[in-house]
Structure 1
């Protein structure tokens, strides 16, 4: 058989790898990374994805997982055990809130939510058993921007770890580890893969010891990613920089359009000058503000339904970051599990719509949004 040198890594769609004899088996344990044994422990495709994301984030090592939620779980378990306490930014993805409040509390890990105006003064929230703070680079769904460098100084002062969910930004816009975070987490499902055809997660560690612990947790809990989805995600990652630039350019144009529209009462987008963290977002994001925005129309369910039904090319799809534009409804999807009081406190009202801006021709997107808003 001729020597084969593929330009793209093949799909290693196998659950197990073979050994020549006992000597080769012992070599596997003596020299980790020289060979593969079982795909839950490691696979060339998942390793390729991890290494590429790690390089983009500038980490000491990355672990890919079966979803963004399993990446957050792995991150928390890296630092916490029963009896520990975690802090979490009050405005956070609803799934993260459910994991902390409903599941990890059952395992003996307590959680306290920190309001946005108190996030840089943690003294009254940190307890002797506090281990970490979880926050998002840009919050879901109202795009509040964290000053990661400032927050890293605050968490270090109290001796706790800082875990940043960087999903909305991607390493093209922000690199949390370079700003002092201990771990950067992504739902690879979103921008890193980018084509709405993969469910995956990744956590990137600033310290090698954290990487080793995270990897062990993912292996033991069976949180690994399949070879095929790893391959798909690695393929999507190749166009990340191009896609993010187009997502961001389109989102900025749409944000300006919505800001001026009489049917829209408020727009949340860090690229707008009126956004409270606009200057921070500009500095921390290298002049890019991402592809996510939210806006509010009339706080009336029927008005929201009329708007959604009138859209011709933008589907209602409760996820984000695909190459095609879609919208979501935080009150009924991502933040559904929160109490009415929590939803109101965060500003998630009946008329709030989250828009994941794709990479299509922006003029066509604006035209579709405009004609749908006319029917509200």
Structure 2
């Protein structure tokens, strides 16, 4: 009986069988022709990696057990002990913690580059063994938009690789390879999967040799994603375009609403005309601006507490990008490990609240925010 499922089954197996030694030799002689052990590769994790690779227009990809594993794999693709990396000052707190606390122990140094010069002359920040620049397409949590083409040119002038965390934008908005980036990574946990029920990552390479290196790192460090998580992520990925468009529409409406609130001191959303990178975001984002925004309340913890208690449709859940809306508090969660000076320099203050806008009916979300501000 021939079975031809429309949806790839879950290959919930750690190991695959061989008929004889000839089949074993074929495995090593023809890479990718069959499977041996799920850490080395599994149909489900390969399906996810291939799907994101296709969306990003890459030469190959690997799926990893988390977004942090993806960041680690991306950096290790180019770095060895004694090397040095540049990192955008506006970066996810987990990325900076990895660089500061762990990769430093392995002999990989880091220098942080202010947002304003990422696409300009990087010379003042270079060291003899600087290998790459890590940045985000849209930064967390202040939603600054990097000029990717300028950053790529600034990197390649000095022989550096540009590594882009494209989690906030997704390939629906921006494909960094179109602007000459070298590696693109995602926390699949967020928009790619989209339903707050998967922890995963993926890294995509523009060059085939980098894709092969990524594969080796994934296997030898054991970063491989499980079959079940891979299957769930692929299921979520099928609606990515529809979901992202709905996230964007809702976020833009909420950003405009927040601008009108007397108690809101600032709104950070690239879709607003007064955002400093609005035109760049419109160009790189195909006139879509993402589902994330942040806004500034009075710098009093109790003011933030009152808002959190008042909203019903935005639970305080320190992650993002699910179909259900949520809010987060960068100072106390994602950027908690930064020094107070770093937090101040980046503008991450006591009153800063980040919203992950879901795909619920917009009138329900606006009504909830309206009643919360009324209190």
TM-score (norm 1): 0.99
Structure 2 distance, partners of 1:234, 1:26, is: 31
| 1:47-86 alpha-carbon deviations (Å, 9 max, x no partner) | 1001110000000001100000000000000000000000
Q: Which residue of 2 aligns with 1:52?
A: 51
Structure 2 distance, partners of 1:174, 1:349, is: 29
Listed as ranges, the matches of 1:65-214 within 5 Å are 65-119=64-118, 120-214=120-214
Structure 2 distance, partners of 1:175, 1:283, is: 12
| 1:114-150 alpha-carbon deviations (Å, 9 max, x no partner) | 0112222201111210000000000000000000011
Structure 2 distance, partners of 1:356, 1:286, is: 20
| 1:192-240 alpha-carbon deviations (Å, 9 max, x no partner) | 0000000000000000000000110110000000000000000000000
Structure 1 distance, partners of 2:159, 2:276, is: 29
Residue 335 of structure 2 aligns to a residue whose secondary structure is: coil
CA drift of 1:272 comes to 0.2
Residue 229 of structure 1 aligns to a residue whose secondary structure is: helix
| 1:247-291 alpha-carbon deviations (Å, 9 max, x no partner) | 000000000000111111100000000100000000000000000
Ranges of 4+ aligned residues in structure 1 off by more than 3 Å: none
Residue 62 of structure 2 aligns to a residue whose secondary structure is: strand
Q: Which residue of 2 aligns with 1:23?
A: 22
CA drift of 1:363 comes to 1.0
CA drift of 1:371 comes to 1.1
| Paired residue total | 374
Residue 198 of structure 1 aligns to a residue whose secondary structure is: coil
* Runs (5+) with no aligned partner, structure 2: none
CA drift of 1:374 comes to 2.0
Listed as ranges, the matches of 1:191-270 within 5 Å are 191-270=191-270
* Runs (5+) with no aligned partner, structure 1: none
Structure 1 distance, partners of 2:217, 2:139, is: 27
Q: Which residue of 2 aligns with 1:372?
A: 372
TM-align CA RMSD: 0.6
CA drift of 1:313 comes to 2.1
Structure 2 distance, partners of 1:312, 1:37, is: 49
Structure 1 distance, partners of 2:15, 2:352, is: 48
Q: Which residue of 1 aligns with 2:7?
A: 8
Structure 1 distance, partners of 2:17, 2:247, is: 44
Residue 124 of structure 2 aligns to a residue whose secondary structure is: coil
Structure 2 distance, partners of 1:33, 1:345, is: 48
Structure 2 distance, partners of 1:127, 1:341, is: 24
Q: Which residue of 1 aligns with 2:282?
A: 282
| 1:307-358 alpha-carbon deviations (Å, 9 max, x no partner) | 1011122200000000000000000000001111111110011110000000
Listed as ranges, the matches of 1:335-374 within 5 Å are 335-374=335-374
Structure 1 distance, partners of 2:167, 2:365, is: 23
Structure 2 distance, partners of 1:363, 1:308, is: 19
CA drift of 1:178 comes to 1.3
Structure 1 distance, partners of 2:313, 2:156, is: 47
Residue 123 of structure 2 aligns to a residue whose secondary structure is: coil
Structure 1 distance, partners of 2:306, 2:83, is: 47
Structure 2 distance, partners of 1:5, 1:334, is: 44
Structure 1 position 321 matched with structure 2 position 357: no
Q: Which residue of 1 aligns with 2:292?
A: 292
Q: Which residue of 2 aligns with 1:307?
A: 307
